[in-house]
């Protein structure tokens, strides 16, 4: 039930408004002054506050600021016997939902409460979404306890509250964007935009217009002004992924932004100023790119004020089980399946793999496993053949050129195709089931 609090020192009028509001099915609380009203707000969740302007212990217009600080999701409607424009303007500036005159606007109270309730509900939804985003991209949400990972997280925690430019280094798929998001969420810019762009995803001309925008008429299809991503990220954070792929001409433009906080849009003669924190990432060795003439050394020194290396997954094998378990729960929920465990053999195979695609590759493998499995446990049968093959080959003493090795490989492929159904495998191989069992035992499949 929605709760409405009425603060008014006129007992008869307060009681009348309370009865009208109760007839709408709302829970109503009453208070005669600001002190007792503040106490009521602290005792129970309130959705809308109806507050008189002139009260024995203060002014309702000023009281709104206190309410907004302590109860930001609440909406307030101010009531006064003598309405005046300056008070109304100040009330709205202080955060009031609306301002009405008692007596003259009584018929507006109920419709106004309903509109204020809609706004309060929207406030709660936005707050919940912000909370979920904050939790998703907080440092605590980064999965893993390996020393290398924790060292990287510790560095990111320390630099996050500053405005320092950060360069994230690591292989593809290690989670550099997750780190960038976490740095943003832990900074003073967390309520402002986080904008990400992959510098390798566009050609030079298109990337320039995406990053910096353009003026109408600057080229054939430029029919209206366009904001670039740097402008969209103003007062927030921009994440430049694959910065090593950035064309030299754009590197010069980016350097100017980092040094002066301004840039020229395509077709513009006046610079655009922005206040943006830059977090960049690359899987390349930029010092070698500088030697090869592909990357500007002055830009590198501006970007690498604070470098953080994100370890490859093979360097943190102890984190694989926790990552795999989390991904399995996520994909099982999406697929409406009950997957509650990973078999020891399954985990062992995951931990033995090199994961050249890192966390992204692991995530894809787990999603595939969840789709293929019919039971509550992810087992080896749901893993890609190549991953199982790598383990078996490493344990095999058969020559890669021997006929037996070729036969073993073919048997494994067919069994994988039939999901371990030996009768079906024997039919496809055109051999007897007893022969198949003997070969499975012989090759220890």
In degrees rounded to 5, what are phi and psi of residue 396?
-90, 145
User: Cα–Cα distance between 361 and 225 in angstroms, integer?
Assistant: 40
Q: Distance (Å, rounded) from C-alpha 19 to C-alpha 31? A: 14
Per the CB < 8 A criterion, the answer to whether 327 and 367 are in contact is yes
Burial of 351 (0-12, 13-18, 19+ CB in 10 A): middle
Closest CA to 313 of 268, 263, 371, 358: 358
How far lies 1's CA from each of 45, 49, 396, in Å?
11, 15, 68
- For CA atoms 130, 132, 137, 140, give the dihedral sign: positive
Give the CA diameter of the chain. 100
User: pTM here?
Assistant: 0.64
Residue 142 belongs to what H/E stretch? Answer: none
pLDDT at 398: 46
- The DSSP letter of residue 381 is G
Q: How far apart are CA 247 and CA 296, in angstroms?
A: 10
The tens place of each residue's pLDDT in the chain, 445 residues long, gives 889 999 999 898 899 889 989 999 999 999 999 999 999 998 888 999 999 888 999 888 889 888 888 898 899 988 887 766 676 777 788 888 888 887 666 677 889 899 999 988 888 887 676 555 545 668 888 999 999 999 999 999 999 999 999 999 999 999 999 999 999 999 999 989 999 999 988 888 889 999 999 988 888 777 788 889 999 999 999 999 999 999 999 999 999 999 999 999 998 889 999 999 999 999 999 999 999 999 999 999 999 999 999 999 999 989 999 999 999 999 998 888 889 899 998 998 898 888 999 999 999 999 999 998 888 999 888 888 777 765 555 554 444 455 666 777 788 788 877 878 888 888 888 888 878 888 887 777 7
> What's the pLDDT at 256?
94
Please report the pLDDT score of residue 130 as a whole number: 58
Q: Tokens for 207?
A: 């990337």
| Residue 218 DSSP one-character state | S
Res 131: pLDDT: 58
Which pLDDT score is estimated for 375? Answer: 87
- What pLDDT, on the 0 to 100 scale, is given for residue 133? 53
Q: What pLDDT shows up at residue 407?
A: 78
422-429 helix and 433-442 helix, angle to the nearest 10 degrees: 100
């Amino acid at each position: 039930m929605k709760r409405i609090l009425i603060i008014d020192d006129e007992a008869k009028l307060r009681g009348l408004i309370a009865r009208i509001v109760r007839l709408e099915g709302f829970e109503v609380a009453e208070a005669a002054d600001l002190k007792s009203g503040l106490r009521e707000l602290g005792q129970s969740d309130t959705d809308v506050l109806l507050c008189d302007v002139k009260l024995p212990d203060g002014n309702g217009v000023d009281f709104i600021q206190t309410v907004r600080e302590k109860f930001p999701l609440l909406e307030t409607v101010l009531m006064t016997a003598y309405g005046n424009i300056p008070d109304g303007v100040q009330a709205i500036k202080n955060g009031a939902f609306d301002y009405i005159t008692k007596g003259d606007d009584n018929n507006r109270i109920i419709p106004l409460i309903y509109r204020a309730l809609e706004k309060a509900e929207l406030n709660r939804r936005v707050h919940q979404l912000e909370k979920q985003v904050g939790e998703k991209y907080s440092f605590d949400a980064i999965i893993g306890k390996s020393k290398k990972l924790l060292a990287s997280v510790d560095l990111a925690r320390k630099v996050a509250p500053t405005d320092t430019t950060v360069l994230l280094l690591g292989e593809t798929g290690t989670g550099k964007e997750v780190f960038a998001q976490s740095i943003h969420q832990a900074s003073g810019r967390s309520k402002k935009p986080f904008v990400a762009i992959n510098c390798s995803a566009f050609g030079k001309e298109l990337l320039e217009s995406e990053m910096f925008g353009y003026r109408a008429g600057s080229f054939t299809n430029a029919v209206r002004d366009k904001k670039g991503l740097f402008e969209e990220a103003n007062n927030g954070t921009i994440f430049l992924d694959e910065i090593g792929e950035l064309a030299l001409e754009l590197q010069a433009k980016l350097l100017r932004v980092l040094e002066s906080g301004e840039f020229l849009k395509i077709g513009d003669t006046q610079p655009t100023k922005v206040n943006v924190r830059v977090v960049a990432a690359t899987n390349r060795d930029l010092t070698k790119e500088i030697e090869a003439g592909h990357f500007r050394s002055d830009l590198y020194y501006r970007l690498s004020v604070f470098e953080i290396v994100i370890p490859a997954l093979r360097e943190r094998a102890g984190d694989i089980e926790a990552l795999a378990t989390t991904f399995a729960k996520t994909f099982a929920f999406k697929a409406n399946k009950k997957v509650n465990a990973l078999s020891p053999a399954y985990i062992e195979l995951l931990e033995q793999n090199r994961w050249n695609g890192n966390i992204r590759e692991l995530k894809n493998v787990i999603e595939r496993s969840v789709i293929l499995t019919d039971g509550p446990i992810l087992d080896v049968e749901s893993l890609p053949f190549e991953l199982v093959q790598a383990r078996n080959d490493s344990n095999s003493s058969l020559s890669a050129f021997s006929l037996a090795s070729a036969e073993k490989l073919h048997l494994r492929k067919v069994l994988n195709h039939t999901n371990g159904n030996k009768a079906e495998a024997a039919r496809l191989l055109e051999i007897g089931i007893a022969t198949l069992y003997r070969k499975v035992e012989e090759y220890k499949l």
